[in-house]
Amino acid sequence: MRTKSCFLALTLVFSVISLHAQREETVLGSRNLGFSGIWGGSKHQVSRFGNNNQYVHGWHFGLEFGKALTVGFGGYNLNDDILWDNVPGQRFDMHWRTFNLGYAIQSYRAVHPVINFDAGRGKVKLLDEGIDDRVFVIQPSAGIEINVLRWFHLGLEGGYRFVTDSDLPNYSDRELSGAFGQASLRFGFSWGRFRKHDRD
């Protein structure tokens, strides 16, 4: 199930990238997939765990290619352990590390769409019971990115966290999964210029 879900999500992301690249002067244009920048920063999510909306802190680092595609890695964790369903004795914590793919559509514009895909292993902990379990997390998201400064970009996105492989009693994959809103702070630099396709 996990492998099929991951493969399906990756296929969808690359299909969107390929279709768009044929129309826009982005990754597959005359610039090719040349190394064009380095970016890193933080991600800040609000998502639901149990009966509560919780804050999730994340970080990311990636290499940019063709001024559109970013490939990197990152991680997420709850800001603090929580009481699942606000019931004493249910202290809960979760963290996960991911491989990241990001694609910016017309990234030269001050405000432009972005698509992101994160996937990786994580761990869920029931602290009062001394139990932990390894899970697999897939996080597709989409939104807009604002080029505040050349070296600072702000992303505002929405997505869904799919959690699989949970073997904990009373904590199913569905309960651990959920929608999220996210603000991404990206610091770095891109070099080179955007070039138009040569026309016949």
Q: How many Cα atoms are found within 13 Å in the side-chain-facing hemisphere of 20? A: 18
How far is CA 131 from its chain centroid?
Answer: 27
Q: What gap in Å lies between CA 110 and CA 66, rounded to an integer? A: 17
The model's pTM: 0.77
Answer for the pair 177, 161: CB distance below 8 angstroms, yes or no.
yes
Say yes or no to pLDDT of 182 above 70.
Answer: yes
Find all residues with CB under 8 Å of 10, minimum gap 6, and list them.
117, 119
Per-residue pLDDT band at 137 (split at 50, 70, 90) = very high
Residues 39-78 have pLDDT tens digits of: 999 999 999 988 888 899 999 999 999 999 999 999 999 9
Q: What CATH class does 2-190 carry?
A: mainly beta
Domain ranges in the chain?
Answer: 2-190
